[in-house]
Amino acid sequence: MWHYDLMNILLIGNKETAKDPETYYGEYVSFFKEGIESANRKSQIDFTLVDDLVISIGDGEFSIYDVRHQTDINEYQLLLIRGKGFRNMFDVMKTISTYAKHNNIPVVNDYSGFRDSSKLTQATQFFELGLPVARSVYVTPAVLTGSIPLKFDYPCIMKATFGAHGNDNYLVKDIQEVRRIAESSSDKHFVLQRFVPNDKDYRLLIIGSELLIIGREAVEGSHLNNTSQGGKAVLASEGDVPQKIINDSRKIMQYLGMSIAGVDVLADKVTGEFYFLEVNSQPQLMSGAFIEEKSKAVGRYFDSLQS
C-alpha cells in the first residue's frame, strides 16, 4: 500500500493491441483517469509499450527502464498491463510482475506466478480446485481417428485453446466436422467440450472486492453468448448466480494472482447446475457493456490501494 495525494501510474501495453496504439492507449489513460476522479483522487497516468522497455537481469541487478519516459518503472506506484497479444509474451508479463513484486509495487494483474492460460490448462485448474467444469478433451491425432469414445454426445463445442472473444469457437455435429476444422486450422490447437444447454451465460467481472455480474444472451442462430459476437447483455443481480459460484470465482482469481478478471460461468437450463468456462485476465473494460459502471469500479479499486 502507498499513501500519496497523486496516484502515479504506468500503463504498459503492447503494439499488437491496435493499429494505432498511441490513440488506443491514450483513450485508456482517459478511461482510468475518469474512474479515479470518480473516487475523488488525482492521478498521473503514463503509458508505454513493451517495445519501449529495457529489461535487464543478472550480475546481482534487476532493472526495467522505460526509454519513453526516461525512468525506471520502479518510480511508479502502480503498474497496469493491458492489451492483446500478450499470450505469446507471458515471459515478459511474468518478468514485469516479478520486478514489481521485488519493488513492492502493486500490479494489475500479478503474473509473477504465471500459469498457462489455455482452455486446457484452465480446465485442469478448475478440476484441481474442485470447481465444476464440463468435460473437455484435447484434440490430438488419437482423438481425430474417432476410435476412442468422447464420453459425451455430439453436438459439442470445439474451441481453440487460446481463442478469445468467441473466435475459433464452433458447435460441431460429428467427428468429420472436427477433422475439417482441425485440418483447416493446423496452426491452432483445440479442445472439444461437452455442450451444456443454456439460455445465457454470465461474466462475473471482479474488480478488487467489487463484483459486476453481466448476463449475456446469444443472438438467434448462434451458440455464442459473447457480446463481442453480438450477444445481448444485461446487468444481473448477485441472486442470479449461486453464492458458491461467486465465492469459487474469487477462489480461482486468488489462485491465479488476479485482482481484475472476468470469470465466465453458465447454468445447464435442464439441471440448473453451474459450470465454469474460463477466466479472462484481460476482460473488456473500455469496451463492451456497462462501461461507466466498470470505470467507477476501477476507480474505487485504485483508491482502495491507498487506504
| CATH code for the domain in which residue 23 is found | 3.40.50.20
Among left, alpha and beta (phi > 0; psi -120 to 50; other), residue 179 is alpha
Does 58 share its domain with 93?
A: yes
User: In the chain, where does DSSP find H-type helix?
Assistant: 21-38, 90-102, 119-128, 141-144, 175-184, 243-256, 291-304
**Is 290 inside a domain boundary?**
no
Number of C-beta neighbours around residue 193 at 10 A:
22
**Is 263 inside a domain boundary?**
yes
Q: Which domain holds residue 100?
A: 6-108
Count of domains for the chain: 3
Strand partners, 211: 206
CB-based contact 155:195 (threshold 8 Å)? yes
Query: Which residues, in sequence order, are CB contacts of 16 under 8 Å at separation 6+?
Result: 83, 84, 85
Q: 3-state DSSP call for residue 298?
A: helix
Which pLDDT tens digits describe the chain residue by residue (307 residues)?
444 568 899 999 998 888 999 999 999 999 999 999 998 888 999 999 999 999 988 877 899 999 999 999 999 999 999 988 777 788 788 889 989 999 999 998 888 876 667 888 888 888 888 899 998 998 988 899 888 888 889 999 999 988 877 788 999 999 999 999 999 998 888 999 999 999 889 999 999 999 999 999 876 666 766 655 566 889 998 899 999 999 999 999 998 889 999 999 999 999 999 999 999 988 989 888 899 999 999 999 998 887 5
Q: Please confirm whether the linkage preceding 155 is cis (ω < 30° from 0).
A: yes
**Is 260 inside a domain boundary?**
yes
d(CA 26, CA 154): 46
Does 188 share its domain with 234?
A: no
Of 251, 286, 245, nearest in space to 264 by CA: 245
* Predicted TM-score of the model (pTM): 0.80
Look at the block and give the residue holding cell 484452465.
Answer: 122
CB-based contact 82:9 (threshold 8 Å)? no
Domain boundary among 89, 108, 127: 108
Per-residue DSSP letter, 18: -
**Is 75 inside a domain boundary?**
yes
Q: What per-residue string of b and e applies to 138-156 under the rule 16 or more CB within 10 Å gives b?
A: ebeeebeeeeeebeeeeeb
**Is 97 inside a domain boundary?**
yes
CB-based contact 227:235 (threshold 8 Å)? no
